[in-house]
Amino acid sequence: MANDLIRYLQNVPFAAELSAWANIESCSDDAEGLAQFRQVLCERLASCGGEVEPVGATHVLARWPGAGKPILVLGHYDTVYPRGTLATQPVVQRGAQLFGPGVVDMKGGLLIGCVAIQALRALGRMGPRPIWFLCTSDEELGSPTSRSAIEELARQAEAALVLEAAGNGGALKTARKGVGLYELSISGRAAHAGVAPEQGRSALLELAHQTIWLHELNDAEQGTTVNVCVASGGTATNVIPAEARADVNVRVRTAAEGERIAAALAVRQPVIEDVTIQFSGGINRPPMERTPAIATLFGKAQSLASEFGLELAETSTGGGSDGNFTAALGVPTLDGLGPTGGGAHALHEHVNLDSFVPRTALFARLLETL
């Protein structure tokens, strides 16, 4: 069963197509670049038989018919690299690795999805279930405009397969932390720092108190992290600062921990008299918890992978993806089905080209048999 698939995939020019894709810059906020890549993607999805339709202004859904509940495939085509990045970080192949912006996060994964379907069709082996392949343009922003569509499609789906990059050693991701983003706003009272400092109420001193308190919410055993990642305040070197603000990043392994943090922030009082504080924001991505259904789905992937000698491990990560949304709805979700590589969001972002054939084969087998 697996051999003709592998043979087919060995003749697919993955590196050439991925190079072309990475050479189209498509940063999350670059409407023109996104439109240009979207055009290429729509043509590619249509070329392997997908019925392509727009979702919202910038997302794309391709569908293949079948019977029963569909398999939802998720990928995003936005990257974190602003236009012009290619000038200093060109797409280049070195040995068995292809470097370039977005190759592993996650145009390589999108390519695996397209080629898997193309191969199944070419071999007359499309599975029984419909396939819904949703490609979104705002994942790197926290999916503000695509979340509702992802959730609506997921509610109807048998399972969700996410083509984000693989974990270390090719591991699939069966758990992801939830992500909370909070903003802390602090108002104190300005005063001359030399003439009447006692009349001032320092927003920055309050921020220091709050920062230490926030970090005390960390709980390594529960996997909860709370970090003040951006902070600012004050106006001049001789003024007691009246205003300060901070961005707080929260990561939780369980929904219960997310609620614990939210409840603590909701009732938190200022330390300094006459100062006001306010936390806004909340949990942006719920945690993807490893449910028994996810474990079963992983077991299935593991045995499919063993057909062609791929030893598949599973891992968890503190990073979020759109798989968090589907898993939180109780839809069995497997993530990290994309290529192996490294350096996501960094200068050395790359994929391992030899991972494409086995991982595309695995993805095709999942689509064929789920």
| Interface residue list for Zn ion (CB under 5 A) | 105-106, 164
Nearer to Zn ion, 143 or 202 (CB): 143
Report, in Å, the least distance between residue 266 CB and Zn ion.
Answer: 31
* Close Cβ partners of 38 (under 8 Å, ≥ 6 residues apart): 58, 60, 77, 135, 137
Nearer to Zn ion, 164 or 314 (CB): 164
Nearer to Zn ion, 106 or 367 (CB): 106
Question: What gap in Å lies between CA 337 and CA 164, rounded to an integer?
Answer: 6
Report, in Å, the least distance between residue 327 CB and Zn ion.
Answer: 16
Report, in Å, the least distance between residue 325 CB and Zn ion.
Answer: 13
Report, in Å, the least distance between residue 317 CB and Zn ion.
Answer: 11
Report, in Å, the least distance between residue 105 CB and Zn ion.
Answer: 4
- Beta bridge partners of residue 317, listed in sequence order: 176
Report, in Å, the least distance between residue 343 CB and Zn ion.
Answer: 13
Nearer to Zn ion, 30 or 368 (CB): 30
Question: What gap in Å lies between CA 203 and CA 104, rounded to an integer?
Answer: 42
Helix (H) / strand (E) containing 66:
none
DSSP classification of residue 166 = P
Closest CB to Zn ion belongs to which residue?
Answer: 105
The answer to whether the beta carbons of residues 102 and 41 sit under 8 Å apart is: no
Pairing status of strand 178-187 against strand 97-99: unpaired
Q: Examine residue 106 and say whether the peptide bond preceding it is cis (omega within 30 degrees of 0).
A: yes
Nearer to Zn ion, 133 or 279 (CB): 133
Other Cβ atoms less than 10 A from the Cβ of 362: the count is 26
Question: What gap in Å lies between CA 164 and CA 200, rounded to an integer?
Answer: 50
Amino acid letter, 117: I
Nearer to Zn ion, 130 or 323 (CB): 323
Nearest to 68 by CA among 129, 127, 125, 126: 129
